[in-house]
Amino acid sequence: MVRLPATVHGKGDHGFVPELISIARATGVSGYLGDGSNHWPAVHRYDAARLFTAALQQAPAGARFHGVAEEGVLLRDIAEVIGRHLRLRVRAIAPEDAAGHFGWLAGFLAASVVASSVLTQKQLGWHPGEIELIPDLDEGHYFQDR
């Protein structure tokens, strides 16, 4: 089993990051929760695909692997890139205002998630090598009209 305790990013992403961008566009603010020190792991979709392939080809039944390239990207850093690209103010959202601002994502953003793929890399010889999340965001494809 391959676990993806991370945001899976890359062109065509329709998950976590696009939802944050949508919220920023709707509210006019690129927000982060509290002091922004919460972490979120990340993996590029091509790295995740290579991991699934390696697991299918090499793993014994019942084995578990983590698909993580970056152990924990600061949510404040993600909000800052979004704010810069959308030319929006970046600011902290108080925990008591999180549900109103982030909607269903508020509970996820309240967690600080750090995950590792060290054992996965050792066991399968899988090594993520694609672009990391912040540089991927900076490429701009996330901000083009869809």
pLDDT in tens, 78-104: 999 999 999 999 999 999 999 999 999
- Which pLDDT belongs to residue 57? 94
| pLDDT confidence band for 146 (50 / 70 / 90) | low
For the chain, which residues make up each domain, given as ranges? 2-138
Q: What CA–CA distance (Å, rounded) separates 21 from 114? A: 22
- Of 3-7, 83-87, 114-118, which has the strongest mean pLDDT? 83-87
Q: 46-67 pLDDT, tens per residue?
A: 999 999 999 999 988 899 999 9
- Which pLDDT belongs to residue 48? 96
Section 117-131 average pLDDT: 95
- Which pLDDT belongs to residue 29? 98
| pLDDT confidence band for 132 (50 / 70 / 90) | very high
Question: In sequence order, what are the beta bridge partners of 43?
Answer: 8
Q: What CA–CA distance (Å, rounded) separates 140 from 124? A: 33
- Which pLDDT belongs to residue 117? 94
16 Cβ neighbours under 8 A, 6+ residues apart:
7, 40, 105, 108
| pLDDT confidence band for 3 (50 / 70 / 90) | confident
Q: What CA–CA distance (Å, rounded) separates 102 from 31? A: 8
Section 30-37 average pLDDT: 94
Section 35-41 average pLDDT: 93
Q: Which fold has domain 2-138?
A: Rossmann fold (3.40.50)
CA distances to 43, 88, 124 from 98, in Å: 25, 18, 39
